[in-house]
Amino acid sequence: MNAQIIEINCNNLDEKYEFNKIAKQASGAVMYRQGKVVMIAAVAIDEKPVDEDFLPLTVQYMEKSYAAAKIPGGFIKRETKPGDFETLTSRIIDRSLRPLFPTGFHYPVTITVMVVSADSEVDMQVAALHAANAALFISDIPVTTSIAAVRMGTVGDDIVVNPTLSQQAKSELDLLVVGAAKDIVMIEMRTLPTKEGEIQNANEFSEEALVDVIAMASEAIEKSTAAFIDSFTSLVRTPLDLALAEEKIDEALYTFIESNYVQDVEKAIAHMAKSERSSELKKIRIRILEALEAEGKEASKDLVSKVLEQYKKTVVRAMILDKNIRADGRKLDEVRPIEIETNILPSVHGSCLFTRGQTQALVTVTLGDKKDSQMYELITEKNSQSEKFMVHYNFPGYSVGEAKYIGAPGRRELGHGNLGKRAMEPTLPMDYDGSIRMVSEILESNGSSSMATICGGSLALLAAEVKTTQLVAGIAMGLVSNGEKNAILTDIMGLEDHDGDMDFKIAGTKHGITALQMDIKLGGIDLSLLKEALLQAREGKNHILGLMEIAAKEIEVSDALPSTEHFLVHPSKIVDIIGKAGATIREIIEKFEVSVDLDRDVGGVKLSGGDKDKVAQAKAHIEGIASSPVKKQMVYKVGEEYHGKVKRIVDFGLFVEMPDGFDALLHISKVAKERVNNLQERYSEGDAITVVVMEQKGKKVELATLEFLA
């Protein structure tokens, strides 16, 4: 088949798709172009299904260094493990495309997107989503729906669809929405801080304003998906004949469980609210197998487990929809009990132990200098970037009772850490000149651990005396729907996340939303229902913020917190603070045990140290140096005598402090007519000495002694 090129101009994007040109042995492939960006997206399938009841989908988004005319830095000159941006983009593609696969599709699928040419103005995530979607849509995999992505931003007071990267850098909003026709399947959102005069704000969006922007995005998505389907349908390959796993229910076994074990299952559900690793259903399964055996009926352990799981899910959803009862007895809009402790770690700059129900996060903050920031590279930027605020999220197996080795962070850990960073970053001081590393150790988990990270992290920042503009709280919302009835759940736990239809994470201050992440298991979500969920989330978020404000007032400063002083001196005095060859600044660092950062342009001085008294003494010492009058060098008369003081003795002579305060050199050859081998025997530092000026060239003055001239 000949190569075919399709151009689509929609929503401020000029995209070109080239099919049947590259990777022809893949199930589906496309060469995607936008601006200078070129991406290769390919889909491959293993036609042997897995036994487990899930879709084994793997997404790999990869940026090649040559795409930006770069050679990889470091010792190894080839691409190695993916960077955070690549991993997070892979995760976004996965979450967007996974809902397109039909129910019962259990075949391993790999979607690879390679960036082979970059552009500093193109949104790589939107481009990668469209490239992957096109390759999947025209493939021989039975996917019949197309998705589209739009990024919403602001240019001045206007909302813009798909702004360029330079426009995004100035935007107050970063909203990525992915959908299929009228159905929204994924949302990621954050705000960016601005500064008006001396007042910084985090640009929190109200719930009502956010729904309006999402509605605009939904209209744009509908246009794009219609264009994709119209343009790509004629190129779709003949679908593979793949059998889909059927969700068969053993009606007799289901009825047997429903008739005899309803109360047991309801009790087990209550136990499961206490631990995601509850063994109560296993006990019921054993009793069912024993009862069936006693009646002379046969049933495998796997079949009983599957039917029991189906019945459990039905009971959980019915309790919520019909009785407004949740597994742990809470109301639909009720937040679990919260306990907060701050600065419980004596050797840490700032810490918070945040517990909400059966979810617990220990969040720590460590402060550092600029040099402690994380260096990274983006394919759309020529220079290396510096990450001053780092959020690292760790999820050990023991947090859910699993005996599991702790290894390198996976995509989930990186995603949750990134969500926490996006939520809290708008409240940090924009002029903060140091580095902050936040680490969240999840000690116990029953849902919403990423939101616990945000709550504990915001308080840990205050505990480390970082002057944030507002406290930030996060809350996870859920949805259970049967098409006719809808129940929105506040602060969902693991059971409700597993058996529900939506995972909706919202974070923000008392003024509005700073970050949001949503995944829909249904075909989509109605905007009126989305608005209702946002407003219910606001009530829960404000409840948590109220408890956090009380805890913030009780924070006791950690003894480990470094003392820091920022002050200004006249820029001309920076050279005096440094001293000759850095001697003065080294002396300050060693004597007062501080670190010193200097800004030559504005005369900025930053002192940091573990001892507040020594930091104060270092400040006074530097201010003393800076307050001394500006020395003006004399013009000396050659051949005349002057009285000075021996300042320093070196192998080749003496440095003599002259009457104007400047140093002049008395070379060893000018001390006496006969060679002097050891100046230490003749002079000591501080000795008075009479010298004769032999020559002056600018600031350089050469001397001789009377003995030499005699």
Check whether 585 has a pLDDT greater than 70: yes
Residues 705, 637: Cα–Cα separation, whole Å: 15
Burial class (CB in 10 A: 0-12, 13-18, 19+), 64: middle
* pLDDT tops 80 at residue 510: yes
- DSSP letter at 246? P
Q: How many whole angstroms separate alpha carbon 242 and alpha carbon 289?
A: 34
Section 475-501 average pLDDT: 88
Note whether 4-194+202-235 and 641-709 share their fold: no
Contacts (Cβ under 8 Å, ≥6 apart) of 510: 470, 471, 542, 545
Strand 688-697 versus strand 641-650 pairing type: antiparallel
pLDDT tens-digit readout, 45-62: 999 999 888 899 999 999
Q: Domains of the chain: which residue ranges?
A: 4-194+202-235, 251-323, 338-553, 563-627, 641-709
Question: How far is Cα 515 from Cα 392, in angstroms, rounded to an integer?
Answer: 17
Q: What's the whole-number mean pLDDT along residues 540-547?
A: 97
Mean pLDDT of 137-163: 94
Sign for the pseudo-dihedral over CA of 305, 308, 310, 316:
negative
CATH architecture of 641-709: Beta Barrel (2.40)
pLDDT tens-digit series, residues 626-663: 887 666 678 889 999 999 999 889 888 999 988 887 88
Query: Per-residue pLDDT for 276 more than 60?
Result: no
| Interval 196-238: pLDDT, tens | 555 566 678 888 999 999 999 999 999 999 999 999 999 999 9
Q: How many CB atoms lie within 10 A of CB 464?
A: 25
Enter the CATH code of domain 338-553: 3.30.230.70
Taking alpha carbons only, the member of 33, 73, 13 closest to residue 379 is: 73
Please state the rounded mean pLDDT for residues 501-522. 89
Q: What is the mean pLDDT of residues 503-518?
A: 93
Please determine, for residue 573, whether its predicted confidence score (pLDDT) is greater than 70.
yes
Which pair of tokens denotes residue 166?
């330079």
pLDDT digits (tens, 9 = 90+) for 354-405: 999 999 999 999 998 888 888 888 888 777 788 899 999 999 999 988 888 9
- Whole-number pLDDT of residue 42: 98
Q: Cβ contacts of residue 112 below 8 Å, gap of 6+?
A: 40, 41, 42, 43, 44, 59, 60, 62
The candidate with the shortest Cα–Cα distance to 609, out of 566, 562, 559, 567, is: 562
Query: What are the φ and ψ backbone dihedral angles of 258, each rounded to 5 degrees?
Result: -65, -35
Angle between helices 262-272 and 251-260 in degrees, nearest 10: 80
- Which superfamily, per CATH, for 4-194+202-235? GHMP Kinase, N-terminal domain (3.30.230.70)
Alpha carbon distance, N-terminus to C-terminus of the chain: 104
Q: Work out the burial of residue 698: count CB atoms within 10 Å of its CB; fewer than 13 is exposed, 13-18 middle, 19 or more buried.
A: exposed
Return the closest-CA partner of residue 447 out of 503, 405, 408: 503
User: Does the pLDDT of residue 434 top 60, yes or no?
Assistant: yes
132 and 91 in contact (C-beta within 8 Å)?
no
Question: Is residue 602 very low, low, confident or very high in pLDDT (cuts 50, 70, 90)?
Answer: confident
Q: Which one-letter DSSP state was computed for residue 501?
A: S
Model confidence over 278-321: pLDDT tens digits? 677 888 888 888 888 888 887 788 888 888 888 888 888 988 99
**CATH number of this structure's domain 563-627:** 3.30.1370.10
Give the chain's mean pLDDT.
89
Lowest mean pLDDT among 245-259, 350-364, 545-559: 245-259
Residue 419 has pLDDT above 70, yes or no: yes
Tell me the pLDDT tens digit for each residue of 671-688. Answer: 988 888 888 888 998 899
Q: What is the pLDDT of residue 388?
A: 93
* DSSP structure class, residue 644: E
Question: Cα Rg for the chain, rounded, in angstroms?
Answer: 34
Residue-wise pLDDT for 617-633, tens only, equals 988 988 888 887 666 67
Q: Between these two residues, 274 and 158, which has the higher pLDDT value? A: 158
